Structure 1
């Protein structure tokens, strides 16, 4: 517990009995991380860990802006990796820096229709320049795990042709997602809709990825391995019941986003 300096005391003098976020100093001038002010016996105090120095950078496919540093109570490193036929080299976004608010680690991956894969990995640490270590490259394709999911990917003006997809590795869930324009903040500004295999951590997401896309996701029951005794397939190569599932999943996801 350390006393706040005189200038900060005057700034928060009217906050008696309340709590407020601030930066404070202890004797010797060492800066402390953002912390909570507490009123106790008419004196203000703050309790906090010393702030950390984090590396800060932003890279697209290995092309990085000039690195700098920042100070916070924790550091983060983030990798987003998108692979699709239209981008032979793929798209990899990497960031390091100081989190806005509390840092929460999250890692997930998904394999969708149209040979599209997406991987997201955000890690948090609490040591000086602890986010210096380079981020791990995409892993070698994993083995099939016995799970089948309906796969589809649809953008504006592009039809969705569903296929049955064999899931691999830790992608043991069947996921459906919708991506809207994060800039417009309009739930009806749909950019992409997709289904496929995903890790369990990809279920029930509500977040921004690739800088400008707001995604919502949910997981549904997986499909059984195709059987030769099922009903005759239609022009897509799937039983009619599988094909008709796609618009149902998309409709449910739109309802989830809107309400």
Structure 2
């Protein structure tokens, strides 16, 4: 009888495990894809895998950061946005269904660089605040139709740096906010405020 119960328990465990989605899991804070990764078994409630790519451009430097995992928070799938304030940040999220469906590299789409008629106060600083000079604005480009004030910390691969941005951002970030670390590079205590743009 004990043998039958043990066999039944093993079958139950295997069938239960088989119902869970398996996703590729990795984090690369210095590149656009992952050279090493593990397989992550998701919680039963998770139905999608996610891949995220963030690109930061400052002067002549371009930094790529990539991570993949189970989409534990559905909002992770909406982390596609771009923001500019002298520092340019592009973030793209792709979600998919099926075991290890997020194994392919994520590609960043071309973003329009044409002025869209929106202007926003501008400043950026590697600190907890910055001040826009009166009348100092930047012309927003492409899908960046909202003005933003971002105050928070951004992970650089080893620690969090304080940043403040006043500039332009896509409306999607205002609607969904930005998922916090470890699902992105943004520390959970950030403040993102969208403002009425100038036309």
The TM-score with structure 2 as length reference comes to: 0.72
The runs of 5 or more residues in structure 1 that have no matched partner are 1-5, 8-23, 34-49, 183-188, 225-259
Query: What residue number does 1:149 align with?
Result: 120
Q: Is 1:66 equivalent to 2:36 in the alignment?
A: yes
Query: What residue number does 2:81 align with?
Result: 108
Deviations 1:191-218 (A, max 9, x none): 2222111111222736344265742111
Name the CA distance, whole Å, in 2 between partners of 1:223 and 1:211. 27
Kept in 1, the 8 Å contact 2:153–2:186? The answer is no
Of 47, 56, 76, the match for 1:82: 56
Q: Residues 122, 214 of structure 1: CA spacing in aligned structure 2 closer, same or farther, 3 A cutoff?
A: farther
Deviations 1:156-199 (A, max 9, x none): 399645431111111001111111488xxxxxx99222211111
Which aligned pairs between 1:8-27 and structure 2 lie closer than 5 A? none
- Root mean square deviation, CA, Å: 3.3
The runs of 5 or more residues in structure 2 that have no matched partner are none
The TM-score with structure 1 as length reference comes to: 0.57
Query: What residue number does 1:30 align with?
Result: 15
Query: What residue number does 1:165 align with?
Result: 138
Kept in 1, the 8 Å contact 2:111–2:142? The answer is no
How far did residue 52 of structure 1 move? 2.3
Query: What residue number does 2:99 align with?
Result: 128
Q: Is 1:93 equivalent to 2:65 in the alignment?
A: yes
SS of corresponding position for 1:55: strand
Q: Residues 26, 166 of structure 1: CA spacing in aligned structure 2 closer, same or farther, 3 A cutoff?
A: farther
Name the CA distance, whole Å, in 2 between partners of 1:166 and 1:91. 23
Answer 1 or 2: higher relative contact order, Cα 8 Å, separation at least 6.
Answer: 2
SS of corresponding position for 2:168: strand
Query: What residue number does 1:198 align with?
Result: 169
Query: What residue number does 1:42 align with?
Result: none
SS of corresponding position for 1:30: helix
How far did residue 140 of structure 1 move? 4.3
Name the CA distance, whole Å, in 1 between partners of 2:148 and 2:105. 30
Q: Residues 147, 63 of structure 1: CA spacing in aligned structure 2 closer, same or farther, 3 A cutoff?
A: closer
Max radius of gyration: which structure? 1
Range that drifts further, 116-125 or 203-212: 203-212
Query: What residue number does 2:150 align with?
Result: 177
Q: Residues 84, 190 of structure 1: CA spacing in aligned structure 2 closer, same or farther, 3 A cutoff?
A: closer
How far did residue 77 of structure 1 move? 0.7
How far did residue 141 of structure 1 move? 4.0
Kept in 2, the 8 Å contact 1:181–1:214? The answer is no
Kept in 2, the 8 Å contact 1:58–1:95? The answer is yes
Runs of 4+ in 1 over 6 A off after TM superposition: none
How far did residue 71 of structure 1 move? 1.9
How many residue pairs are counted as aligned between the two chains? 176
